[in-house]
Amino acid sequence: MDVVLRKLGRKGGRIVAGRLLRAPRNGSVVVIEFPDGLHEYVTTPVKRVLRLAGNDVFFLQTANSCYRLEVRSGREVMLDSVAK
């Protein structure tokens, strides 16, 4: 599933676009593969996942950062992982 991850903060955040390899769940890391297929972006362990009602937008709080995750494709897979 294709996603866009934006790190939130005062300085403005890094934007990562790619394929989600590991969905956000409490206690696990989020892994996004870059389009080149050679590199990955890995977050620290997730503490909290919040979904914006009616949209494919999620807010993630990790051990030391906050992120906005927008799903571009594969919506039903993402919803199943958050509902558990």
67-82 tens-digit pLDDT: 999 998 765 544 444 5
Reported as a single tens digit per residue, the pLDDT across 38-69 is 999 999 999 999 988 778 899 999 998 999 99
Q: Name the band, by pLDDT with cuts 50, 70 and 90, for residue 3.
A: very high
Query: pTM surpassing 0.95?
Result: no
**C-alpha pair distances (Å), 82 with each of 13, 37, 49, 71:** 24, 25, 7, 13
Q: How far apart are the first and last CA of the chain?
A: 18
What is the second-level CATH architecture of the domain 2-83?
Roll (2.30)
What CA–CA distance (Å, rounded) separates 54 from 42?
Answer: 27
Residue pair 41/16 in contact by the 8 Å Cβ criterion:
yes
Residues 6+ apart with CB under 8 A from 57: 51, 68, 69, 70, 71
